[in-house]
Structure 1
Amino acid sequence: MGRRSDHTRAELEALILSAGHALMAETGYAGFSAREVAKRIGYSVGTLYNVFDSLDDLVLAINTRTFVEWAASIAQRLEAAGKDRIAVLVDSYFDFATVNRNLWMAIYDHRLPEGALFPDRYAQRRRTLTVIVEEEIARVLPPDRADRAAPLARSLLATVHGHCVFALNGTFALLEEKHPREAALVRVREALAAAQASRD
């Protein structure tokens, strides 16, 4: 029988999130289940849903935790970076995805039901990662083009993400691309050089 009152709500939330994050790292999104999370912490599934609104809410919380860890790892790498901070960004993206493959893929495997709004409490925390990239892009743009950093960062994230996905799922091997990480960095440098040189 599941425990009923061993923890406060805040303690339960932390316990569920920790166990859920560990399970997601082991199984990926396809093998994830709230029942297994409940089993691991010794509570009923109903207790999970007293803390999180739904399975989607729990997965969003877990994926947001991954985003926070991801942003922290990139920020740490940038603290020790030399002049080529863009290369550090690309390497950090690939490294985190490679080492934390199931957690990273779960971010993109999970979909909210059609029409459901993405909760602001999660969106704000996830934006930390995007802000890091935007700030690094802004550093290499001329001051009069700083307003281009945000849209350019989104496009460059998509470029690196696509290369990373193809590298991890084997598509690049089929395409005979042997150095996807280096190819991603080249594409990023080309886009930045074009942005630096363009004239309105």
Structure 2
Amino acid sequence: MLVVEGHKHMAEVGFARFSAREVAKRIGYSVGTIYNVFGDYDHLIIAINTRTFRLWAQFMREALEKGGTDRIATLVECYFAFARSNRKAWTAIYDHHLPSDMEMPQEHDWLRSELTEIVVTEVRNALPEQARTGAGSLARSLIAIVHGHCAFDLSGSFRLMGEAAPVDMALARVREVLAAAADKAADAPN
């Protein structure tokens, strides 16, 4: 209940205006109760952001199930669609920074990795057999490419640059990288 209501509040106001006190007020608890459950503010935000990751992974799985044969296009389109429709919660993932002396709790790290594993699997399947060895690193790099395009889209930077099709641009870059990886593997000696 705390995470669900916290997530609703985050989706409404974003990270900069998020208030644990407001979440407590909404559910009729004291802010002390929230800190008793989570330990501190950072662990509360981690739990809320992990919920965003899980909803994002579910969104991506459902789109892949419904999508056509171009699963890479579905991934890229999903990235943008989720970020656009969950702008404040999505941005909160990247606005929250753990203190330097704090590690991501293992259970949250594992839950969050589900999203990356979906992408890794699809990238691996999109590559020819001989190019699949480095699919994990390649997929994470492709996530960074798509993320950059998506962040520029949401911030309005692409619009200011006169770019009207950021999803198409991101997909083109992803396809170029996948093609280069396939060509490199084909040219490698056996």
Same fold (TM over 0.5): yes
- Measured in 2, the distance between the counterparts of 1:126 and 1:36 equals 26
Question: Normalization by structure 1: what TM-score?
Answer: 0.91
- 1:22 is aligned with what amino acid? K
Q: 2:165 maps to which residue?
A: 179
Does structure 1 residue 41 correspond to structure 2 residue 10?
Answer: no
- Counterparts of 1:142 and 1:126 in 2: how far apart (Å)? 27
Question: 1:174 offset after TM fit, Å?
Answer: 1.6
In 2, the alpha carbon distance for the partners of 1:22 and 1:174 equals 31
| Residue 151 (structure 2) pairs with residue 151 (structure 1) | no
Task: Output aligned runs, 1:94-105, within 5 Å.
Answer: 94-105=80-91
Give the letter aligned to residue 108 of structure 2. Y
Q: Which amino acid in the other structure matches residue 111 of structure 1?
A: H
Deviations 1:112-132 (A, max 9, x none): 111311111100000000000
- Counterpart residue number, 2:123: 137
* Alignment of 1:21 onto 2:7: yes
The aligned counterpart of 2:97 is 111
**Residue identity in the other structure for 1:183:** M
Structure 2 Cα separation of the partners of residues 25 and 173 of structure 1: 24
Structural mapping, 1:21-100, within 5 Å: 21-100=7-86
Residue matched to 1:192 = 178
Give the Cα separation in 2 of the matches to 1:80 and 1:173: 30
Q: CA RMSD in A?
A: 0.8
Tell me, in whole angstroms, the C-alpha distance in 2 between the residues paired with 1:82 and 1:42. Answer: 46
Structure 1 alignment gaps of length 5 or more: 1-14
Query: Deviation per CA, 1:58-99, whole angstroms, max 9, x where unpaired?
Result: 000000000000000100010122211100000000000000
Structure 1: which 4+ aligned runs deviate by more than 2 Å?
A: none
Q: Aligned letter for 1:125?
A: L
Could you give the per-residue CA deviations for residues 139-184 of structure 1, whole angstroms, max 9, x where no partner exists? 1112122121100000000000000000010111121111111100
For 2:133, what is the secondary structure of its paired residue? Answer: helix
Q: Which of 152, 167, 174 matches 2:153?
A: 167
Tell me how far apart the structure 2 counterparts of residues 107 and 34 of structure 1 sit (CA, whole Å): 16
TM-score (norm 2): 0.96
Alpha-carbon displacement from aligned partner over 1:10-41 (angstroms, at most 9, x marks no partner): xxxxx111110100000000110110011001
Name the % identity: 53
One-letter amino acid of the structure 1 residue matched with residue 43 of structure 2: D
Count of matched residue positions in the alignment of Structure 1 and Structure 2: 186
How far apart in 1 are the matches of 2:150 and 2:165? 11
